[in-house]
Amino acid sequence: MFSHDRKRRSPGTAIAAVALGAALALTGCSAGNGGGGGEGGGDGDGGNLAITFLPKNLGNPYFDTSNAGGEEAIEEFGGTFAEVGPSEASPTSQVSFIQTAAQQGVGGLVVSANDPEAICDALNEARDAGVKVVTFDSDTNPECRDLFINQATAEGIAKSQVDLIAEQIGGAGQIAILSASANATNQNAWIELMEEELAANHPDIELVETVYGDDDDQTSFDKTAALLQTYPELKGIISPTTVGIAAAARYLSTSEYKGQVALTGLGTPNQMREYVEDGTVTAFALWNPADLGYLAAYAAKALIEGEITGEEGDSFDAGKLGEYEVGADGVVLLGDPFVFDAENIGDFDF
C-alpha cells in the first residue's frame, strides 16, 4: 500500500540542498568580508567598536533615518556598523536578533524595544556575554540595559502634541488618538500624559477613543476611517507614531473630512510634506531621529571604551552634538521636540 511512496527518491531535494548550501556559503563569505563578525573593529585602547542597531522593525523610515545617524557616528569614530531587525514589530521577534548579536560578540547593541519585558532576559544574557546595551526611542526596564537615549521627555512630547491639537481645533471638541501597538512603551506613556494634560489645561477637549494601528500602514488607514465613521463630531486626531500619522493624513486628504478634521502627532517631514502642502495637516512635531541614532552610537562607544558606566552624572562627548550627561536611571535626554509646519518643512529632508 505504501510502496509507491516508499521508493520516493529525492534528487529534487538534493538539488535544493546544493543550491541552499551554495547560498549559505555565499552569504557566509560576504558576511565574513563585510566584517559582520565583529572582530578587528577595536583599536589600541578602545575595545570592540562593532555596534549593531536593532530597530523595532526594518523598512520603517523613522528607523532608517535614526540608523543612518548611527552609521554616520560610527564611521566618524571608526567602528563597524551593522543593522538587523525583524520584519514585523512583535514583542518577541527581536529576541533572536539579540541572541545573534551576542553570538557574534559585537561590542555594542543599540535597541528600540518592542516590549519592555519580553526582550529583557535576552538583553541581560547579551550583557553577560560582554555586549554593551543602549536602548533608544523605546526603552526596556532599566535593569536590562546600560543606557537609554530618550528622544525628548514624555511630558514635553505629550504637551507639544496636545498644544498643537488644541490650537488647531480652537480649544474645544472631540479628539481621538491613533497609536502604534497597544504595548508600545513610549506611545502608552505619552498617551497617559496627554490625558493628564487635557484634563488639567483643556477641559473642553474630550478624548473619545484611543485606537491602535500597530504601526502598519493599512491597519492605521482603516482605523482612521473607522474613527471618522464612529464619531461624526470628531474634530481632531493625534497620532503619536510616524506610520499612523502618515496613514491618517493619506485617508483625510482624499476624504470629505479634509480640512474639517485636524490631524497632528509625530511624523517625519518627508512623509508629511505633501499633506502639509495640501493643507490636510497644519503642524506636527518630532525630534530629529538621525540625531537620536547618532547620540546612541556615541553613547555605545563611550560604554565600550569604558569612558562611562551608565551611572548618573557620567558625561561623554557625542561628536557634533556636543557633551551629554547621564541622568537618573541611566537616561540621556536628546532635547526638546521640534514643531514642523508649512514654513519650515522645506528645510528638512529625512
List residues binding another protein (CB under 8 A).
Answer: 1-18, 20-21, 23-25, 27-32, 34, 36-37, 39, 58, 82, 84-87, 90-92, 95-97, 99-100, 102-105, 115, 117-118, 120-121, 129, 182-183, 212
Shortest reach from residue 213's CB to another protein, in Å: 13
Cell of 117: 519585558
Closer residue to another protein in complex, CB, 36/156: 36
Choice between 7 and 347, CB closer to another protein: 7
Please report how close the Cβ of residue 172 comes to another protein at its closest, in angstroms: 29
CB nearer another protein, residue 29 or residue 226 = 29
Please, what is the minimum distance in Å from the beta carbon of residue 90 to another protein? 7
Nearer to another protein, 22 or 342 (CB): 22
Residue 350: name the closest of 43, 72, 65, 126 by CA: 65
Q: How far is the CB of 102 from another protein (least distance, A)?
A: 6
Q: Is the CB of 7 or the CB of 233 nearer to another protein?
A: 7
Place of cell 511512496: 5
For residue 181, the minimal CB distance to another protein (Å) is: 9
Phi and psi at 253, nearest 5°, equal -65, -25
Nearest to 93 by CA among 82, 103, 84: 84
Nearer to another protein, 46 or 105 (CB): 105
- SS3 track for the chain: CCHHHHCCCCHHHHHHHHHHHHHHHHHHHHHHHHCCCCCCCCECCCECCEEEEECCCCCCHHHHHHHHHHHHHHHHCCCEEEECCCCCCCCCCCHHHHHHHHHHCCCEEEECCCCCCCCHHHHHHHHHCCCEEEEECCCCCHHHCCEEEECCCHHHHHHHHHHHHHHHHCCCEEEEEEECCCCCHHHHHHHHHHHHHHHHHCCCEEEEEEEECCCCHHHHHHHHHHHHHHCCCEEEEEECCHHHHHHHHHHHHCCCCCCCCEEEEECCHHHHHHHHHCCCCCEEEECCHHHHHHHHHHHHHHHHCCCCCCCCCCEEECHHHCEEECCHHHEEECCCCEEEECCCHHHCCC
Can you read off the three cell numbers belonging to residue 186?
A: 513610549
| Shortest Cβ 25–another protein spacing (Å) | 5
Q: How far is the CB of 111 from another protein (least distance, A)?
A: 15
Which CB, 182 or 199, lies closer to another protein? 182
Choice between 37 and 335, CB closer to another protein: 37
CB of 296 to another protein, least distance (A): 20
- Cell numbers 531587525 label which residue? 85
Distance of closest approach, residue 145 Cβ to another protein, in angstroms: 16
Phi first, then psi: what are they for 296, rounded to 5°?
-60, -40
Q: Which is nearer to another protein, 87 or 229 (CB)?
A: 87
Instruction: Give the relative orientation of helices 242-253 and 269-277 as an angle to the nearest 10 degrees.
Output: 20
